[in-house]
A and B are shown apart, each in its own frame.
Chain A
Amino acid sequence: MTEEILPLEIRSLEVVLSQRQILDDISLTLKKGDLMWLRGRNGAGKSTLMRALVGLLTYRGEVFIKGEPPYTLKAKSKFIYVPDEALLYDDLSLSEHARFSSMSYFQGDAEAKILGLLEQFQLTPYLGEYPTAHSRGMRQKLSLSLALGLDLPLYILDEPYNALDVQAQETLSEILAAKIKSGASILVTAHQEGITRSLLERIPHARQADLEDGKLLERITSKKAGKALLDKPSDKSPDKSPDKSLDTSL
């Protein structure tokens, strides 16, 4: 039986910025269909961790996306990263963004899916417009649609709920749940407890982890999630307590 290539595997990752250790000995794996919710106070290093994973920061340690280092073409075709700020072309309309996004990942059917997501986010009337004149929330919806319309094994989303209205937050949770159901893996950061609770209700086996002092600690906060986590036997670590460093495959 062939061993499954993990969508995300991090071994002993360290990030030092300006001689300050931001992340220390982070190990983490995401399996197919996993969602990990990453928490931490401002400056804890959540965005730094995500940037290091996708090759936007130098790091020590090993990162593999579907078995490849993140800067290789093979790895880039397996994941997408959505930063906390929507970075869009000022001179491409929304529909052209959808076309370009599907082209850049060579996925012919992605354009229709992106347009479908834009419809769910109620942006269809604005398809022919440039995003420059749009609000931060509308830009965020476009940015998320461009990523989630693609069919990829791994999605890395930095604060995706920021600037979204209540209805769009619910829509996003539903889309993420559907992605997980289809076998994709998601690493997401979010501050809003209410939103993430709704997300955890939709995805009972979701995992949570806190970044504290550069270390990653996995916690169990929801009853369902806790049961799901504890029901799974741990192969690598004998310690089954809820608080432990994330070098285990849960």
Chain B
Amino acid sequence: MTQIPNPEPSPNNFAKHDRTQPDFSKLTSSKVVAYLRSLTVGRSTRSYIKWINDTIGWYTLFWVALIWGGFLISGLQILKPLPKPLLLPKLQLYLTLIGAAFLLLRLLTTRISPIPLRSQDVFRLGMAPLAGSDILGWPLGLARVKAVGIALLPAILWMLFCYVFLGTLPWGTLLLAPILGWVWLECGWLSYASRDIHQPKAKVFSRALTLFVLVFSVTGMFSPVGLWNVLWDQSPLAYIAPIALLILSHFATRSSLHDGLPSTFLWQARVLSQLQSTVYMSAMTRAVPNQDEMRRLKAQLEPDRQRSKPTVFLPPPPASWGVQGALLWRSALMFYRRPFLEHLPILASCLALLLLENNPIATTIFGISLQAVIIGLIVSRLVAPAPLSPLLPILSSELTIGRVLPGLILLGIFFVALGALLTLTIGLEPLAFVKAALPMLCAVVFLEKMASWGKTNPYAREVALGAAVVAILPDVIAHYSGYGQWGLIVEAAVALMMFLPTGIREP
């Protein structure tokens, strides 16, 4: 593995530093932070440039970009709009409700600072007598860039969906998405800061933004001036509300930062930086992050959630059950102790999968992709952690059973309960129930196998999505080869194979 080199001290920088003594009579907080960032950010950037130059090479990057670009363009070229666009009569209402809920939840529920700070910055900047706006200037800028970049991805997907299925191309989405990404971050900050009694402006602005989102979500339903109208309306008036929201949230954040940092910010930033470094270190060593350590740190952020002191118990199995029994007990205890709210996403996913399978869209490439995404988002929650000691004398199949069986039982309960409910209410077909449950089961088992055999982190999003794609693959291949009826059988066979006793696991 290539190591990123430490930046070498530059004699030029050192000499320059010694010559230019700062004028302390004119020194301001922003100049102090600028001095620090000019050295640290500048050197890190130069160090990364040197690292790319020495290890990967710029030509490699250029060719990768070219290949990806070509791949993307050819992918776009094969997209063709449906001859008969789908009619979604309540689309505007749904988009408005989703958008409004998205921002209102953020404004009303964020309790933890959405802006991270490095541990060095916590102690050396955060505890020094410097203005909050200067301390947070750089990390806030980075967080904005990240939020805007992330927001662009679903925007592009939405445009492609509109082009193929609705026969429209809402270019306004490309403007709305970055605005929303930016506003999403600032709404989170204002919601967090408004909980501090020393941040009166944040409280006022948070309420003003809530009112703004509510009012302009409603006005959009019967006038061109609305927050979400750019998703379906090309009129220039549709841009007024999103731009106004951006200006308001930006002004509100600036104003809140002038009041200083919230009193809980530094300790939250310290814990968040420790969490970040735990994840970072595990990524560097390609290990699974220490879940116990992460739980301990999270307990500091959310002390009310009884994360570190158990209140419910399951009796341990008799010793004669051996390691297998101990593993099953540990996994079952984890699910049993998990707060019910954390089970809700699993329940919601089961419902979504059942509804999807009951819809003709399920057999299209869009439906299959959606199924994979839903499974990928949730599957990690159904796999229990591995035993701490990798040296346990246990069969691979026993390890799989120990880690996944309690989760699969929970999944079974949810599917059966929801399936019965939907059968009675909307006449769900029994086959739809099997089609929804089987890929999820496959994904859970496959994820555990990837984790225990390949030493990958089953809680990493990309690994979970990979497992979901693999789980639906037999069905996709069978479907597009003209043997659709064999898809489920192949999936069931693959799932069963995972439980075969394949020998002692190698540490």
Contact = CB atoms under 8 A, between A and B. Distances in A.
Our verdict on whether A and B bind, yes or no, reads yes
B362 to A, nearest CB: 45
A73 B14 contact: no
A77 interface: yes
B227 to A, nearest CB: 35
B464 interface: no
B14 to A, nearest CB: 5
Contact of B6 (A96, A104, A132): A132
Given A81-B127, A89-B120, A130 B261 contact: no
A87 B266 CA distance: 15
Contact of A55 (B47, B125, B266): B266
Contact of B124 (A51, A56, A93, A100): A100
Interface string B26-60: 01000110011001100110010000000000000
Interface stretch (B302-310, B366-374, B467-475): B302-310
B68 interface: no
Interface in A82-109: 83, 87-93, 95-96, 99-101, 103-108
B233 to A, nearest CB: 46
Given A100-B36, A106-B27, A130-B6, A87 B123 contact: yes
B92 interface: no
A104 B130 contact: yes
A103 B307 contact: no
A16 interface: yes
B439 to A, nearest CB: 38
B345 interface: no
A178 interface: no
B128 interface: yes
Q: Give the bracket for the number of chain B residues in contact with chain A.
A: 35 or more
Given A18-B300, A100-B36, A106 B22 contact: no
B120 A103 contact: no
Nearest to A127: B14
Provide the main secondary structure of the chain B interface.
Answer: helix
B426 to A, nearest CB: 44
Contact of A19 (B32, B260, B303): B303
A85 to B, nearest CB: 9
B75 interface: no
Contacts of A74: 129
B299 interface: yes
Nearest to A104: B128
Contacts of A89: 36, 40, 120, 124
Contact of A90 (B6, B306, B308): B6
A20 B309 contact: yes
A80 B127 contact: yes
B39 A92 contact: yes
B35 A100 contact: yes
B267 A56 contact: yes
A101 B196 CA distance: 29
Nearest to B198: A71
Given A18-B303, A71-B263, A100-B35, A106 B24 contact: yes
Contacts of A100: 32, 35-36, 124
B119 interface: yes
A153 to B, nearest CB: 13
A175 B83 CA distance: 83
A18 B311 CA distance: 13
Interface of A: 16-20, 51, 54-58, 69, 71-74, 76-77, 80-81, 83, 87-93, 95-96, 99-101, 103-108, 128-130, 132-133
Interface of B: 6-7, 9, 11, 14, 17-18, 22, 24, 27, 31-32, 35-36, 39-40, 43-44, 47, 119-120, 122-125, 127-131, 198, 260-261, 263-264, 266-267, 270, 299-300, 303, 306-309
Closest 4 A-B residue pairs measured CB to CB? A77-B129, A18-B308, A108-B24, A104-B128
